[in-house]
Amino acid sequence: MARVFNFGAGPATLPEPVIRQAAEEMLDWHGSGMSVMEMSHRGKIFVAIHAQAEADLRELMAIPKNYKVLFLHGGAAGQFSIVPMNLLRGKATASYVNTGHWSTRAIAEAKRYCKVSIAASSEDAKFTYAPRQDQWKVDSAAAYVHYTPNETIGGVEFHWIPDTGEVPLVADASSNILSRPIDVSRFGLIYAGAQKNIGPAGLAIVIVRDDLIGQAAPFTPAIFDYKAQAGADSMYNTPPSYTIYMAGLVFQWLKRQGGLKAMEEINIAKARLIYDYLDQTEFYHSPVAKEDRSRMNVPFSLRNAKLDEEFLARSKARGLSELKGHRAVGGMRASIYNAMPVEGVKALVEFMREFERTHG
C-alpha cells in the first residue's frame, strides 16, 4: 500500500528516510546483532547514540553551554506538573499566558502547586489570536512566565519571543520546536513532546538553564527532579531509549536538509500555499488572525458544515489522511510539520480546489 499524506497533529508524520533507516536497522543495529530497543541503556552503544542525539540537537538549536538537555518520560503533559515542581523555587506564584487548549491544561496543573496569575489571554476571542506584548501583565513576583508558542488545536502561533524581564520565560514548544531557529538564551526553560516534530510519542525534551536546576520542591519525586536527571545524564531510570534513537535520526535528517533556517523557509512556503488559497475563497474559512496563523497547524472550516463528512471521506480516498479537526473546535485541521513534504501540501490544496468546484 502506498504511503498517505498524514496531516495528523500527533503522533505525526515522520521523514520517510528516517523510517526507512530505522527499518533497515531494526533487527541488527550496525552489526551489533540486536535492535536498539533491546540494548542496555547503559551499554557503550546506546550511550553513544544518546550522546550523538544530544550533540546534534545542541548544534541544530545552538543551545548554549549553560543549558542542560534532558530526554525524559511523560511527554509535554508531564511537564505541566514537573515545571512548577522544579521552577517555583520557594515562590508562591507563576504567571501563565492563556492562548488555547494546551495553555489551559498547563494552567490547570500548575494550580495544584501554586497561585497562577494570568499574564495575558485570548479567551475573549475564542483563542484566535496571540496577545501582543503590550497586553501582558507579568507578576514581578512570579517564579516564571509560561506560554505556548504554538497552539496545536487552535492554530495560533507566536512569531516573536516575549520579553519577560528578569522573570524566566518557559515555553511549551511541542508543536513548533525545530521548525525555525530560535534564540535559546531568551528562555529559562523550553520543553516539548516528541510526537510532532521530533519523533515517536513517549519522549519529552527539556532544555533548562543551569541556574534554574537544584531547587525542586521537597515533595518532588526524584525521577521528576531536573537536578537528579541532569546528574544522571537523563538516565536516573531507564529512558525512552528507542524514541531517543528515533529522535536522533530526525536530528541527523534535519542537518542534511540544511538545518533550521532551511526548514523555516520550507515551512513558510508550505503554510503560504494553504493560507493564500484560504484567503481567496468564500467556500472555506480560516478563523485565526492573519498575523498569528500557525505554520504548523492550519485549522479551517467549510462554510457549509453539512459537507464536512463528505470532504473527509473524499480526501481520505485521495490519500490525504487525518484532516478532521479536534473535537474541541470541529472543522478541519492540516498539520504540516517539518516532515510533511511540499508535495503533500500541494495535493491538499489541489483537492480543496476541486472539492470547491464540485460542491460550491
Query: Are the CB atoms for 57 and 251 separated by under 8 Å?
Result: yes
pLDDT of 235 above 70: yes
Burial of 45 (0-12, 13-18, 19+ CB in 10 A): middle
Contacts of 128 (CB under 8 A, 6+ apart): 122, 154, 156, 287, 288, 289, 292
Domain segments of the chain as ranges: 17-256, 258-359
pLDDT of 2 above 90: no
pLDDT of 140 above 90: yes
- Average pLDDT of every residue of the chain: 97
pLDDT of 1 above 70: no
**Separation of alpha carbons 88 and 93, rounded Å:** 7
Question: If you classify domain 17-256 with CATH, what class do you get?
Answer: alpha beta
pLDDT of residue 109: 98
The reported pTM is 0.97
Closest residue by Cα to residue 70 from 227, 214, 175: 227
| Residue numbers annotated as active site | 102, 172, 196
pLDDT of 263 above 80: yes
pLDDT of 86 above 70: yes
pLDDT of residue 358: 97
Average pLDDT estimate for 19-47 = 97
| Structure confidence by residue, pLDDT tens digits, 165-222 | 999 999 999 999 999 999 999 999 999 999 999 999 999 999 999 999 999 999 999 9
**For a pLDDT cut of 70, what percent of the chain falls above it?**
100
**Separation of alpha carbons 114 and 213, rounded Å:** 18
Query: Are the CB atoms for 257 and 265 separated by under 8 Å?
Result: no
> Where does 258-359 sit in CATH, by number?
3.90.1150.10
